[in-house]
Structures are given as C-alpha cells and as structure tokens.
Amino acid sequence: MKLLLSLVCIFGLGVTGANAQTPDFSGKWRMDPARSEAAAQATPIGPVVVAIRQTPGEIQIETTRNGTTESVRYLPASARATGGEPPLGAFRWDGSKLTTSLVTYINKQAVTVEEVRSLNAAGDEMTVEVTLVVQHGYQSGGTSAVQSRNSPNTATGINVFRREP
C-alpha cells in the first residue's frame, strides 16, 4: 500500500512539474515581415497580428490579417476535437514546442494546417513552422501533415512574431 501511495505521489509531482515547464504563448504577437516567409510571397499577406489565450485544457488563437480576424479553438489532441464554432482544432506538446492542427477549407478544398510554435529564451519572440497540405481525396507521401512534407500538395514556411507589450 505504501508503494502504491508513493507511486501516486511521484506521478502527481511529475505531472505538475511537466506542466510547470510548459511555455506560455498567451499574449499578442505581431509578425516580423522581414523575417517571415508568408510576408515574402509573390502576394504578401500584409500585417498579421495573433492573439493567443492559453489554458491547460484549451488554446484560443485569433489571427488578424488585412483587417479580417479568424478565431480557432484548439483542444488537446486526446480530446478528438471535431467541427464546431469557432473552428475546432487539436493541440499537443512536444517538449517546449506547441503543435496545433486544423482541418479547414480554403477555396472549397480540404486543407490541413499544422503549426509548430516555439519561443526564444527571452519569451519575446515566437517562431511558427507552418505546414499546409491540400487534400485531393488521395494520399501521396503519407497520411498526415508531418508525413506529407515532401508531397506536391504540401507547402511549408517559417514565420517569426514579436510579442507586443
């Protein structure tokens, strides 16, 4: 019985310790156009501001570009998030990196958007690695955004954001 109680306490402390080290992406972030691939496309996307609200059980991301704001809620990947208003995606942690996934439609095409966010040591700069996979009703190069990075229907890019005061 003492062994079981000890294991429960150790596990509980381990979970608390892991959560205590989770970086906080909450705040308002402005894209640095000089260091972002999305700002250097043939048709730049214009100014981008991202507002993130993060709790252990949900992440809300509002993205404003060219005066239009889109909001997405992300639930833990284990929750099997599907559909909803606003759009509902999934998130997971890979160490200190936050990965969000969303299946959505762009120009009536199913698209999977995966974003991997990381913070610099000071916590004032966020790097976002974006992978966009356009679904065509067949699988080419894998079954997820991560496995399909070399597929012809995949685009990737890195954007850099600065935390606003």
Task: Please report the pLDDT score of residue 145 as a whole number.
Answer: 44
pLDDT value, residue 78: 86
Confidence (pLDDT) at 8 = 32
pLDDT in tens, 10-34: 333 333 344 457 899 999 999 999 9
Q: Return phi, psi of residue 102, to 5°.
A: -145, 130
The CATH code of domain 25-163 reads: 2.40.128.20
Cβ atoms of residues 153 and 133 within 8 Å: yes
- Predicted TM-score (pTM) of this structure: 0.75
**8 phi, psi to nearest 5 deg:** -65, -45
Spell out, as residue ranges, where the chain has pLDDT lower than 50.
Answer: 1-19, 139-148
Structural contact between residues 141 and 154, judged by C-beta atoms closer than 8 angstroms: yes
Domain ranges of the chain: 25-163
Phi, psi at 162, each rounded to 5°: -110, 135
According to the model, what pLDDT value does residue 85 have?
A: 61
